Structure 1
Amino acid sequence: MESRWRRAKMSLGLNLCVYVPRTLEGDDAASPSTASSTAALVSPVASSSSAATSTDTTPTAAASNGKANGAAAAAAALMPTTPTPTSAGLRLSKSGSKSFKKTCAICLTTMKPGQGHALFTAECSHTFHFHCISANVKHGSSSCPVCRIKWKELPFRGPLPAELPQGNARINPVHGYQNGGHMTIPRPLPLPRARSFGRLHHLATLLPDADPGTFNDDEPLDLSCEEANGTQQGCLRTVEIKAYPEFTQVPENTSERNFTVLVHLKAPPAQHLLQSSSDLGDGNGVSTTRAPVDLITVLDVSGSMAGTKLALLKRAMGFVIQNLGSSDRLSVIAFSSSARRLFPLRRMTESGRQQSLLAVNSLTANGGTNIAEGLRKGSKVIEERQSKNPVCSIILLSDGQDTYTVSPTAGVHKGATEYCALLPSTTTNGSQQVPVHVFGFGADHDSVSLHSISQTSGGTFSFIETEATIQDAFAQCIGGLLSVVAQGLHVKVESLHPDVHFGSIRSGSYSSRVSDDSRNGSVDVGDLYAEEERDFLVSVNVPPGCGETALLKVGCVYKDPLMKETVNMSGVQVKISRPAFVSAQSVSVEVDRQKNRLHAAEVMAEARLSAERGDLANAVSLLEDCRRMITGSASGQSGDRLCQALDAELKEMQDRMASRQRYEASGRAYVLSGLSSHSWQRATARGDSTDSASLVQAYQTSSMVDMLLRSQTMSRPSTPRPAPQIRHAKSFPARPQPR
């Protein structure tokens, strides 16, 4: 008897430790087959119990025994049991496992093909919704949520390959509010779906493969455009050359040392330039009014760019893509801790735009800042391309400091030569120089290194102070790049008198030289945008003479990028009269204006060095002295527009040097951007310089203003702004004004 009870208790104890799984779809009520199988499983226990109690035959015992048997049967029916291989419980377990495989372990919803969600199957054979597992990986998890196996291949929402079907790709608009309002961040575009063998498959993009070893996969050029350009002979546009002596008269018996002659160049206009760009918006036309461009954008997508910054960068890139023509080609490099090429040089046809917009909209922000690696990738794209458009440039944007190439130092920044390590050597190979136009974004970027990159490569440095102006800054830049009318411009200066010798040529950042005999000089200007102007001051000595003295002759040679022909401009001679007596000496306002510009640039550089040493008071004093000198000069007294712009800019620099904190936040970048603008005589973005109401827009051209108007109209369609007026800083009257 005792052994039977022991066996019964052991059997009950074993059964209590076993769990019969239920199906996920099943309800709480047990099916008849389940109940019968459960009863069959507990029948040995019930038989043992009845046999053990059969000796008690009294009515009371029988009644209590019947109640006990009923309770035991009811308890046994609810008790979990151990299923046998042939039991229905095992079939329930199989059904539950099969249902579990159809359920995403993260969101706990079913996974079925054709429901509009991409699926990801890991190397451990577990399957999840792609958007669920990619979000899980994005937050730092690299193991399976089910079996915890460490994955070698991670799901990643990356750029789409070029062969994907085209859809209505776009950059979602970002509407900004200036008065502290919220900013709507665009959501990533849904990935397109492709049909294969009549079945819908969802695209799940993993981490992109490493960039190819050679970037020679650029899309071929538009040959129809080149053929059309070749038929337009006789349409060469010439650069205008003028020269102005500092004084038109010098007494005959007087010699002058450091006599200044202004050499002035003006590029021809680009007729119907921007109309052709808009006509090419559908990607079906052929641009025949300007030279096509190869543009490489190197974009910072480090962790500090997350949120509104990245959203506005995507919008600005969308504007650039939409305003490139079908013959232009674009490649995008994204860098953070490392750099990757989103896509090779691609023509901006309709399909090219769609694919480029999708790739740009897939960007995410994370990691550190490796500017040098981004520049190396961009330079590699240029160097290894199979075909070349006439115009080529790099646009670099960053909001941080390079943490991989140059170690930052406290206090005064290192010299510019040390920051040149950030610049690939392939962008500075003489006549084939590719300019890098750099944009420093926000208050934390390293303006010294970025300015050094632009100066070494022949590009400009722009300071984007507020997030809302990033698109306008890009618009001004590409407005110039899409209007190049002269390339490799080389200015030649030759003495016309045996006793006239050149002392120096003040050319800003442009390379200039004077021959050993001091009778010849030259300036390497490079590319000119439509309607751009360049001014250089040549210092000569004037010997005694009578009647008239011929001082020098100016000429230039350049290449027309559209016609691909070399143009030689005949020389313009500079002569002065030599009367016996000069009653009232007159000064050229044009020469005085350029002297003020060069002097202001020198003072800006000196004030910056003083500020870097910590002497802000001396820096402000230097700027104040320069302002007084400009306003008291002949050109300043005449109300010259450039002098007014210089005075306003110097005043703004004084305000940004009021304290060390403000200088570190924006003053340094503002000064460096101004130095870049004046040394290259080209428009840059700094502060409010892209606003039509700003005084600091002396070098803007019609193409830049038109592109700015497009950007501002697109950004603020509800409040249209009047067209910006071009305020020419340089106007040349027929006769010089008296002092």
Structure 2
Amino acid sequence: MTFDDDDQINDDVETQDISTEEEAITYEAGDTQLAIINQPEAPLEETELKVLLQLTGFGDNEDRSPVDIVMVLDISDSMNEENRIGKLKIAMRFLIQKLSPIDRLSVVTFSKESTRLFRLRQMTNDSQLEIIEVVNGLRAHGSTNMFAGLTMGVKVLKDRRYIRGRLGAVILMSDGDQTRRFGDARRVPVDNFAVHTFGFGSDAKPKVLKEIAEKSNGGTFSNVPNVDDLTKAFSQCLGGLLTVVVKDLNLTVTQFKDESTIKDVSAGNYPKTANDTSVTVSFGELYNSEVRLVMAYVSLPKVDEEKNPDVLEVAYKFSSGKGKQFEAPPVTAIVSRKENATVKEIPKLILEENRLMALNSVKDAMVKADGGELERAKNIVDEAINELERVKVDDDPTELIKTLIYELQQLSNFMTTQDDYEKYGRPYGMAFEASQNRQRYSTNGDMDKVRSFATARMNEYLEQAKKFDLSPDTPPPTEKEDLEKDPPKPTIIEQQPIYITIAKKVLNFFTDRRI
């Protein structure tokens, strides 16, 4: 069966609150800002240098990419427990009503078999009401053929006819373990699509869902143990998907002959390719105001005299929300080689080093815990907490450090017994690891306390979802209303210390540099 019956977007469609035609003609590529952060001085002898790259998407949300979302929903028998199926219907209602006519939605369900309830439908008022009515009629039954559900969901995106400038994503929700006799969902090829997975309820099995998300292009794994939190969790994922202003982002770092050697590049679990002199990281999409941090570990050779060499070249290319391609001119990291080099305290470097320390500690602890060494695992996490508590930037712990401490304390609490670890600790640790690796927000328990990587739109959607859960018959704000409430577009920082090089990439600058 081929799913090439997706709706063609009708630009003349109007709703009560938004004009698709107006949205379609106002899309422009977002700006980007690159910061290169490193120690300004290095000694004459052979030494190691850490170079932190900070790449941020600065666009208008009205310039976002239109999105095709395929919801892949578990409706197996276990969804009857704790009224999970009822909670799912409310969450779906919120998600459907937040989409605008430039977006399309398809719904796939799975239990013993998979069913496509709708083709990719343009989100007009009529189609929203139609889909909500069918979703409200869902009944939970049967086993959990996640393999069939994900296979069908990906196929809906692969078979599309109308794809120009459009983003494709799968949102997969399950409350239990897959029935393995049907096949392993981790083996489903997901192509170049993002698959955002949600473990719903305390019985969900995180390992399969995390692995599916990690092998996709920018997908996240969310841990939603409280069945009352699904609307809020969906809202956070949607807050990202509806603000994609940069696509196909690739960043390349290159060493300089006789001046530097790249030893390693830390960029989470994003794909990397390397040759003898350079490393390229493929990030995929950036949500508006999202940041990607890359730590390059560079070796500097011994030199005989003081000088100011270029030690690292940084270049990147991307596509706008419309799909126009741009290539930024390279910028360089510079260091002064001095006989009496001064080491400065650079807050951003300190914070990133400690974030990576916390991430690696959790990874190590999870390996120990999964191997039955729970006491050793808890000790690793507690040692990381102690290290974080000693971190002070400008004599005060930052919000990042406070959040990391809270998350690691939660994980440590879930390591009291093996049963607690398997039910609560493992999904919590996996969601933490997945989010930190992606540098992208994903739900992990208490959404008010854990906001790492959350964007302004996600924060707004969280409050909307809370209100919607209390009054599901009241529609949430439209996209037009969301745009009116968006904070002003950030301005590029004009003054920075010498060790930060800021390069603003503006559309006018790119006029003659289109690929």
Q: Is the structural similarity TM-score above 0.5?
A: yes
Match of 2:167 in 1: 391
Q: Distance in 2 between matches of 1:585 and 1:453?
A: 43
The alpha-carbon deviation at position 683 of structure 1 amounts to 0.5
The alpha-carbon deviation at position 734 of structure 1 amounts to 3.4
Between 1:652-661 and 1:224-233, the stretch displaced more is 224-233
* 1:497 to 1:228, Cα distance in 2 relative to 1, 3 A: farther
Match of 1:467 in 2: 227
Match of 1:294 in 2: 68
Alignment of 1:421-436 (within 5 A): 421-425=185-189, 427-428=190-191, 433-436=192-195
Match of 1:214 in 2: 2
Amino acid at match of 1:481: L
Does residue 400 (structure 1) correspond to residue 156 (structure 2)? The answer is no
Match of 1:488 in 2: 248
SS at match of 1:267: strand
Q: Distance in 2 between matches of 1:685 and 1:697?
A: 9
Match of 2:16 in 1: none
Q: Distance in 2 between matches of 1:371 and 1:570?
A: 45
Contact 2:259/2:310, CA 8 A, preserved across alignment: no
Contact 2:29/2:59, CA 8 A, preserved across alignment: no
TM-align CA RMSD: 2.6
Match of 1:268 in 2: 58
Match of 2:378 in 1: 620
Does residue 515 (structure 1) correspond to residue 272 (structure 2)? The answer is no
The alpha-carbon deviation at position 254 of structure 1 amounts to 2.0
Unpaired runs of 5+ residues, structure 1, are 1-212, 274-288, 408-418
The alpha-carbon deviation at position 646 of structure 1 amounts to 1.1
Match of 1:609 in 2: 367
* 1:250 to 1:395, Cα distance in 2 relative to 1, 3 A: same
Q: Distance in 1 between matches of 2:239 and 2:143?
A: 31
Q: Distance in 2 between matches of 1:226 and 1:470?
A: 29
* 1:560 to 1:371, Cα distance in 2 relative to 1, 3 A: same
Contact 1:631/1:637, CA 8 A, preserved across alignment: no
Match of 1:453 in 2: 212
Q: Distance in 2 between matches of 1:399 and 1:230?
A: 37
Amino acid at match of 1:324: L
Provide, for residues 374-425 of structure 1, a one-character-per-residue CA deviation record: whole Å limited to 9, x for no partner: 0011011111122126111000000111113479xxxxxxxxxxx6x53421
Match of 1:254 in 2: 45
Contact 2:11/2:20, CA 8 A, preserved across alignment: yes
The alpha-carbon deviation at position 587 of structure 1 amounts to 3.1
Provide, for residues 680-739 of structure 1, a one-character-per-residue CA deviation record: whole Å limited to 9, x for no partner: 000011110x21xx1x21200011111112111222369xxxx9x9xx9xx9993499xx
The alpha-carbon deviation at position 236 of structure 1 amounts to 3.2
TM-score (structure 1 length as normaliser): 0.61
Does residue 542 (structure 1) correspond to residue 304 (structure 2)? The answer is no
SS at match of 1:570: coil
The structure with higher relative contact order (CA 8 Å, sep 6+) is 2
Contact 2:368/2:377, CA 8 A, preserved across alignment: yes
Q: Distance in 1 between matches of 2:143 and 2:423?
A: 21
* 1:423 to 1:709, Cα distance in 2 relative to 1, 3 A: farther
- Aligned equivalent of 1:702, options 431, 456, 461: 456
Amino acid at match of 1:248: P
- Aligned equivalent of 1:661, options 388, 399, 419: 419
Does residue 685 (structure 1) correspond to residue 446 (structure 2)? The answer is no
Q: Distance in 2 between matches of 1:665 and 1:494?
A: 45
Contact 1:218/1:346, CA 8 A, preserved across alignment: yes
Amino acid at match of 2:64: R
* 1:405 to 1:551, Cα distance in 2 relative to 1, 3 A: farther
The alpha-carbon deviation at position 261 of structure 1 amounts to 0.4
SS at match of 1:250: strand
- Aligned equivalent of 1:734, options 484, 496, 502: 496
Q: Distance in 2 between matches of 1:437 and 1:423?
A: 16
Alignment of 1:42-57 (within 5 A): none
- Aligned equivalent of 1:441, options 200, 210, 213: 200
Match of 1:201 in 2: none
Amino acid at match of 1:674: F
> Identity, % of aligned pairs?
28
- Aligned equivalent of 1:593, options 337, 351, 363: 351
Contact 2:29/2:246, CA 8 A, preserved across alignment: no
Contact 2:355/2:404, CA 8 A, preserved across alignment: yes
Match of 2:35 in 1: 242
Match of 2:315 in 1: 555
Match of 2:329 in 1: 570
The alpha-carbon deviation at position 514 of structure 1 amounts to 2.8
Provide, for residues 296-329 of structure 1, a one-character-per-residue CA deviation record: whole Å limited to 9, x for no partner: 0000001110151100100000000100001211
Q: Distance in 1 between matches of 2:111 and 2:26?
A: 45
The alpha-carbon deviation at position 515 of structure 1 amounts to 1.4
SS at match of 2:142: coil
Provide, for residues 606-659 of structure 1, a one-character-per-residue CA deviation record: whole Å limited to 9, x for no partner: 111111111111001001111222233454954222122111111110001111
Unpaired runs of 5+ residues, structure 2, are 13-18, 473-484, 500-515
Amino acid at match of 1:299: L
Amino acid at match of 1:337: K
Contact 1:531/1:701, CA 8 A, preserved across alignment: yes
Amino acid at match of 2:153: G
SS at match of 1:510: coil
Alignment of 1:410-429 (within 5 A): 421-425=185-189, 427-428=190-191
Contact 1:298/1:374, CA 8 A, preserved across alignment: yes
Match of 1:312 in 2: 87
Match of 1:506 in 2: 266
Q: Distance in 2 between matches of 1:346 and 1:230?
A: 17
Q: Distance in 2 between matches of 1:630 and 1:636?
A: 15
Q: Distance in 2 between matches of 1:406 and 1:657?
A: 33
* 1:369 to 1:422, Cα distance in 2 relative to 1, 3 A: same
Bigger Rg, structure 1 or 2: 1
Contact 1:635/1:643, CA 8 A, preserved across alignment: no
Larger fraction in strand:
2
Contact 2:90/2:469, CA 8 A, preserved across alignment: no
Amino acid at match of 1:401: D
SS at match of 2:258: coil
Contact 1:492/1:555, CA 8 A, preserved across alignment: yes
Match of 2:136 in 1: 361
